[in-house]
Amino acid sequence: MDNDAKKTTLRMIPYGLFVITAVAKDGRAAASTINWVTQASFAPPLIAVGVKADSHTHAIIEESGEFVLNMISKGDSSLAVNFFKAVTVEGNRIGDEPFTAGSTVKAQVLERAPAHLECRVVEVVKKGDHTLYVAEVVEARVKTAPSGRSDDAVLWLKELGEKVYYGG
Question: Strands 93-94 and 37-41, how do they pair?
Answer: unpaired
Residues 88-111: tens digit of each pLDDT: 999 999 999 999 999 999 999 999
Q: Could you check whether the bond before residue 98 is cis, i.e. omega within 30 degrees of 0?
A: no
Domains of the chain, by residue range, sit at 16-38+55-116+139-146
* DSSP annotation string for 98-112: EEEE-SSSSSEEETT
Pick one of 3.90.950.20, 1.25.10.10, 2.30.110.10, 3.30.420.40 as the CATH number of 16-38+55-116+139-146.
2.30.110.10
Share the mean pLDDT of the chain.
Answer: 93
Q: pTM of the entire structure?
A: 0.94
Whether the per-residue pLDDT at 167 is higher than 70: the answer is: no
CA distances from 134 to 61, 68, 71, 150, 167 (A): 12, 13, 18, 22, 20
What letter would DSSP give residue 143? Answer: S
Residues 143/113, Cβ–Cβ less than 8 Å: yes
- Whether the predicted pLDDT of 165 surpasses 90: no
> Across the strands, what pairs with 115?
142
168: amino acid identity, one letter: G
